Copies of this chain bind each other. A is one copy, B any other.
Amino acid sequence: MNGSKRATMDDVARAAGVSRQTVSRAINDLGEISPETRDRVLRIAEEMGYRPSSIARGLATQRTLTLGLVVPDNVNPFFSDVTRGVEHVAYAEGYSVFLCNTDENQQQERAVLQSLEEKRVDGVILCSPRLPEEELRSIVAPHLAVVLVNRSLKSVGTGAVLIDDEAGARMVVQHLLQTGHREIGFLAGPAASHSGQQRAKGYRAALAAAELQAETGCIHHCSPTVDGGRRAARELLETQSDLSALFCYNDLVAVGALQACTDLGLCVPDELAVAGFDDIPLAALVTPPLTTCRVPRHELGVQAMRLLLDCVNGDAEASVEIVVQPELVIRASAP
């Protein structure tokens, strides 16, 4: 390194024999400058290794071109895909993103939200927030722009991007019905999960449309993991031996169910059909590959970011809700 400090705009101005303002015009390509001086200034800036300070600029303009992305856990393939979607359009628009994991922890969620506020991000994308509605509202208020993913909160005038969980669940269960199944169990995920509740609705609706009723014994809550699914499936199958199909909260649970079948010596799909939700990469790779409902996760992120940009630029109703449709994917676990 050149030993000295980083070059500032003043340094460049001095070296080029112009005013600071002229350098600014050159850097930001603001037009009101002659091509010759612009090129000369840019060349000198380049030579000096000048890098404009985003933070000084942010202080002056009150816009930071940064935003916060809050997710429960970016290791979860669901959220890492959403993250990529967000990032893709963010970068294309010149934004950088602070990634914040909450570990499904309310305390941490509060903390990152406060930190983002202090960082003066231009906007926040909040995925599957766990905070209660009232608190969320007050915490969201100080931000200029907030978009919720996987949770609606219309009353605050926040934008939201949602999956049509109910429709997705209906599609899956309809498919099971059409292939002859009548006794269909449901591993419902966490009781508190919004999408779990929506998927339960779809499950019931599909059964009702076939003039069947969801027996309460056929619904079992579980943690949304492979182990949770394995345990819950085992319990359910032991008490309800007449089930011929199992619809699962998500693919991880479904993989757990597959394991439970192996444990119990049940053959999938012959003795029990299994279906999941999300279509994570794993779904296609287990044996047998999972029938599931594909959620366009990347798209979810893209839409959320677009909506956020609209909010930041004031182009949009702040409170639009975008609903994205999932898609049935039929594989060997429930052909």
Contact = CB atoms under 8 A, between A and B. Distances in A.
A52 B6 CA distance: 26
Interface of A: 1, 6, 49, 51-56, 58-59, 64, 66, 69, 73-75, 77, 80-81, 83-84, 87, 91, 96-101, 111, 114-115, 117-120, 141-142, 226, 255, 281-282, 285-287
A122 to B, nearest CB: 12
B75 A99 contact: no
Given A66-B98, A285-B286, A286-B287, 12 more contacts: A1-B142, A51-B114, A55-B55, A55-B64, A55-B120, A75-B84, A80-B80, A96-B98, A96-B100, A98-B99, A255-B285, A282-B282
Contacts of A80: 74-75, 80
Nearest to A101: B87
A139 B75 CA distance: 29
B53 A55 contact: no
Given A80-B74, A115-B96, A282-B282, A141 B1 contact: yes
Contacts of A96: 98, 100, 115, 119
13 contacts: A51-B117, A51-B118, A54-B119, A66-B98, A69-B99, A73-B84, A75-B80, A75-B84, A77-B77, A87-B99, A91-B111, A96-B98, A96-B100
Contacts of A69: 99
